[in-house]
Amino acid sequence: MQRDPDTVGLSMPAEWAPHAATWLAWPAAADLWQDNLEAAQASFTGLCRAIADTGEGRAPAERLRVLVTDASARAAAGRALAGLGAELVDVPYGDIWLRDTAPLFVRDAAGARAAVRFRFNGWGGKYVLPHDAEVAERVAARSGYPVHAADFVLEGGSVELDGEGTCLTTRQCLMNPNRNPGLGQAALEELLGEWLGARRVLWLDTGLANDHTDGHVDTLARFVAPGLVVCMRPSGDDDPNRDALLAIAADLERMTDAAGRSLRVVTVPSPGRVLDADGRVMPASYVNFYIANRTVVVPTYARPHDEQVVRELAPLFPGRRTVGVPAAAILTGGGAFHCITQQEPR
């Protein structure tokens, strides 16, 4: 495969590197969120307040760049986010999952920032909403950075980068024929190297039960520092993901990163069996946290392990405050806080 000379040297910084901004999109689609819309907006607001971290008169820790669809959404978001210095950006979108629909922000060989937009096909054609396929292009244009277009399907939640050349992903998602049929593992690894700077790709197998993303890695395992990964251990004999979680931890223990280090693996409890209003298992995950400049925002689900997980994660993030924010309403849409954020490096 011949590389585009414009992409030589591109790499995606780790999430814990300093941010200039966090991109989000205001939950506004009543037809999608239905009875959960108001609660989802409250959870979104809690996330934004934790990211901005403006308590005790502090200036916002980073800019919130929040997409809005119309005047009504702009007014509602403006009221909810008052005092946080949020920038409301008029960009149409289907729903709020910017980890997957927005561009990924990278640096080039000289260290300058750029935006990469990938093709988006509604998570393998399952949820095709108006405007979502164009969000990456529109946000990239509004960012003001040079824009590179990658001609293959990739969602940001399907890859986890350590900033030093290591990428975690899953076969269930990246090698799914509903994304890039005909691309095998070697070709995908080459593309991840070209566009995100991955020199070593570590493959997990399958993800959480009923995850419509086909196993996004950001609900399974996350880098918190070079060589250090956090994943979940099962909670209770009825944990619907018991076998998958045990396999993930065991696989990670055997892996080495791009620098040749054996991964250090830390586990926290999973939320266990979380059900929706119809009694179906939901893909709840504590590792779908977001690493902001001053805080780490952990999704909680009114489960017995909520506070324990926040305490166990805190020592992994020296210099940051680890905060639990209710995310059950966001989960009704299929994900949590990492799924609805996209960091822009400083």
* Helix (H/G/I), strand (E/B), else coil: 16: coil
- The torsion region of residue 213 among left (phi > 0), alpha (psi -120 to 50) and beta comes to alpha
How many CB atoms are closer than 10 A to CB 260? 8
Answer yes or no: is pLDDT of 2 > 60. Answer: no
Structure tokens at 34: 């239905």
Q: How far apart are CA 268 and CA 260, in angstroms?
A: 25
pLDDT confidence tier of residue 70, bands split at 50, 70 and 90: very high
Q: Which fold has domain 10-345?
A: L-arginine/glycine Amidinotransferase; Chain A (3.75.10)
Using one digit for the tens of pLDDT, what is the confidence trace for 81-91?
A: 999 999 999 99
pLDDT confidence tier of residue 132, bands split at 50, 70 and 90: very high
Residues with a catalytic annotation lie at 339
Residue 5's pLDDT is what?
58
What mean pLDDT comes out for the span 68-90? 97
Q: How far apart are CA 190 and CA 213, in angstroms?
A: 22
Answer yes or no: is pLDDT of 344 > 90. Answer: yes
Query: What are residue 200's DSSP bridge partners?
Result: 166
Residue 212's pLDDT is what?
96
Q: Where are the domains of the chain?
A: 10-345
Using one digit for the tens of pLDDT, what is the confidence trace for 98-110?
A: 999 999 999 999 9
Q: Tell me the Cα Rg of the chain.
A: 19
Would you say the pTM of this structure is higher than 0.85? yes
| Beta strand segments in 82-137, E | 87-90, 104-107, 113-119
Q: Which helix (H) or strand (E) holds 100?
A: helix 98-101
Mean pLDDT of the chain: 97
pLDDT confidence tier of residue 1, bands split at 50, 70 and 90: very low
Determine contact, residues 286/232, Cβ cutoff 8 Å.
Answer: yes
Residue 8's pLDDT is what?
72
Answer yes or no: is pLDDT of 6 > 70. Answer: no
Using one digit for the tens of pLDDT, what is the confidence trace for 146-178?
A: 999 999 999 999 999 999 999 999 999 999 999
Residue 4's pLDDT is what?
59
Using one digit for the tens of pLDDT, what is the confidence trace for 241-274?
A: 999 999 999 999 999 999 999 999 999 999 999 9
Residue 158's pLDDT is what?
98
What mean pLDDT comes out for the span 276-295? 97
Longest dimension (CA), the chain: 54
Answer yes or no: is pLDDT of 3 > 80. Answer: no
Q: Are strands 160-161 and 166-170 parallel, antiparallel or unpaired?
A: antiparallel
